[in-house]
Chain A
């Protein structure tokens, strides 16, 4: 749309203006992103009603090489109108290099946007005080998977606090079973599951999001007492005898995608291998096929339990953000306005195959076609409303730490045991650039 060798669009729009009709009829807006297959088809469908109303043709073309291709497209000057980045980092990078158009210049009401998604989310796509990134879908990590039927049969209740969870775990151990599934092997990225645990604990201890943000930006050292407390609590889960199915060996050697399998396998007495598994919402696609059918019903989630008193219900997660390359185009502006409106998210949530979670706080979450998505979405919007939703800390820390020493030392901690907590944190602190 930015450029057409035949100037076709220019002529078209001139004719349209001359006729005084709806000047956006037939305009094309191109969006690209990392979604492919059904996700891409679903994303495209979200625009059906919009196209009917405005006549603007929105075309989405996803690619599994999106992150490389968008780099080339930015260099070539032949960019799509809108790109849907799988990480806010992509938006920030493109904005710093001067390729993006600020949301304000597209006619977005920033106050509305902040009210709908929280100051924190808007801040993730902001460079030098100018907002570039538009919030889209989110995923949630602060959840624990469990099977309600197994809990009911044994008279367990869903733990709402950390202490209740520990008490429940002790009870399960005393009854001769293992409470937790925990596997964090992930090839070159092994250890990220433990960093997720740490982040969830950090969000719920000390001063909550305040200490979390300081921790991410290194305003408090990595071996601060708050962080040490979090690591000690994590070590309690990893190293208490009987807590994790398979013990420490299983933690470091089990592929994260298979970690939950014991929950679906019953032993001779009809007991599952584990009862609780803390893992992000995407894990369902790694489950055995039979288990996938029961996602949200047979196997569902409870929020990661609260810890210190007086802190809001926090949520840890990640998300997509879109950014705009084309300036001064009415059709693009209209699409952007639609993509940030509750109408768009309502249309997206209602699609029967939708499993993406949207963070807009203004739309009715009962519209979600799947129960599990609604539960997750409520957790996210609840946290957003209290400004207690945070992105994965290890993604925001410098790569030397967030994708290096933090992962590595968490693996070491799992192997070495509780006595290693201080060494691990000191080592990570030393590696901070």
Chain B
């Protein structure tokens, strides 16, 4: 690459700005990471930069906040709950969305554009508005003119309810993103498969799905993080009056809040501990983001 066709995002000034933005973004996280190792009284007394400047930070270093959160009663159960909600709530919508996205991207059928518009439009509905109707639907089902359209499942308070809810809330965006991703696949590959006589199912399973793996992984990461960090949906659908139904987010808020929010120093270590899982997920899926898969596809 010569200097002349250097892109705008390769210019040093752009890099400088990007680094500045990244640092601004990281600064508070860096701050609470440092503060989480300080004793509660010290956090309330001085700021962490002051403490580092005067050197008292290193003298007072403690893991007390961590042990208090980490050995909280039933925290392991809450981690288990979070994963029991998050993993199915990631896999189910992605599976459905991948099939739907294939149809929207490569198949011709009547009303395709209208249907797709409806899916995009449903992203506009705020999640909060649909919570109560969904709760009622899960409880009593839908009856129309004496015919039961959806039976009264009465699944509120079970994990299944949260899977359904998260699937519903995640599907529109998943379909939209995956369709866009699939539209970007080289048309010639799919056409050649058609010419070779592959059915839609074969094309999807053998060709499109493997080629879309980076798109699927990207969305899976989003969905996983969103569901894992979710507090509202879990609290609504999973009957939080049972201690064994707490997810990590609600458990952290329980530990941290105290009666008058006096235990807020635990918020720091609590946040760090609950960040562990998303970090593992992010870094293990990160390699899928490298979109090298398509590069040689057509040659084959």
Contacts and interface: CB of A to CB of B under 8 A. Distances in A.
B145 interface: no
Nearest to B262: A37
A76 B237 contact: yes
Given A36-B258, A36-B259, A64-B257, A76 B157 contact: yes
Interface in A74-112: 75-80, 83
A39 B157 contact: no
B66 to A, nearest CB: 20
A72 B132 contact: yes
Interface in A23-78: 30-32, 36-39, 59, 61, 63-65, 69, 72-73, 75-78
Given A31-B241, A61-B242, A285-B260, A75 B136 contact: yes
A39 B258 CA distance: 9
- Among A5, A38, A75, A76, the most chain B Cβ lie within 10 Å of the Cβ of A76
A64 B136 CA distance: 24
A3 interface: yes
A61 B139 contact: no
Contacts of B236: 72, 76
A351 B205 CA distance: 65
Nearest to B238: A78
B131 A3 contact: no
B243 A61 contact: yes
Contact of A36 (B132, B136, B154, B257): B257
A36 B239 contact: no
Given A72-B131, A76-B138, A77-B139, A5 B158 contact: yes
Given A72-B131, A75-B132, A75-B135, A32 B241 contact: yes
Nearest to A28: B242
Interface residues of A, number: 25
Interface in B238-267: 239-243, 246, 254, 257-260, 262-263
B156 interface: yes
Contacts of B260: 37, 285
B235 interface: yes
A30 to B, nearest CB: 5
A76 B259 contact: no
Contacts of A64: 257
- Among A73, A83, A285, the most chain B Cβ lie within 10 Å of the Cβ of A73
B176 to A, nearest CB: 29
Contact of B254 (A30, A36, A39): A36
A38 B136 contact: no
A69 B243 CA distance: 14
Contacts of A39: 259
Contact of B241 (A38, A80, A285): A80
Contact of A72 (B135, B140, B259): B135
A9 to B, nearest CB: 13
Contacts of B263: 37
Given A38-B259, A75-B135, A78-B156, A63 B240 contact: yes
A319 B44 CA distance: 34
A76 B164 CA distance: 15
A428 B155 CA distance: 49
Nearest to A83: B241
Nearest to A35: B259
A36 B240 CA distance: 13
A80 B132 contact: no
Given A77-B154, A285-B260, A69 B240 contact: yes
- Among B158, B241, B246, B257, the most chain A Cβ lie within 10 Å of the Cβ of B241
B132 A78 contact: no
A78 B258 contact: no
Contact of A37 (B132, B138, B246, B258): B258
Interface string B258-284: 111011000000000000000000000
A83 B241 CA distance: 9
A289 B136 CA distance: 48
- Among B139, B140, B239, B260, the most chain A Cβ lie within 10 Å of the Cβ of B239
Contacts of A5: 155, 158, 160
B259 A37 contact: yes
- Among B140, B240, B257, B260, the most chain A Cβ lie within 10 Å of the Cβ of B240
Contacts of B132: 72, 75
B139 A76 contact: yes
Contacts of A285: 260
Contacts of B131: 72
Nearest to B134: A76
Contacts of B155: 5
Interface in A329-369: none
- Among B139, B158, B258, B259, the most chain A Cβ lie within 10 Å of the Cβ of B259
Nearest to A33: B241
- Among A32, A61, A80, the most chain B Cβ lie within 10 Å of the Cβ of A61
B157 A78 contact: yes
Interface in B83-133: 131-132
Contacts of B240: 32, 61, 63, 69
Nearest to B237: A76
- Among A30, A59, A64, A78, the most chain B Cβ lie within 10 Å of the Cβ of A78
A178 B260 CA distance: 32
Nearest to B152: A77
A196 B101 CA distance: 63
Contacts of B257: 36-37, 64
A73 B258 CA distance: 23
A64 B263 CA distance: 14
18 contacts: A5-B155, A5-B160, A37-B258, A38-B259, A61-B241, A61-B243, A61-B246, A63-B241, A64-B257, A65-B235, A72-B236, A73-B239, A75-B139, A76-B157, A77-B140, A77-B154, A77-B156, A80-B242
Interface of B: 131-132, 135-136, 138-140, 154-158, 160, 235-237, 239-243, 246, 254, 257-260, 262-263
9 residue pairs, one from A and one from B, having the closest CB atoms:
A78-B157, A37-B259, A32-B241, A76-B156, A80-B241, A78-B156, A37-B258, A77-B139, A76-B135
Interface of A: 3, 5, 30-32, 36-39, 59, 61, 63-65, 69, 72-73, 75-80, 83, 285
Given A69-B240, A76-B156, 7 more contacts: A31-B241, A59-B243, A61-B243, A63-B240, A69-B241, A76-B139, A77-B154
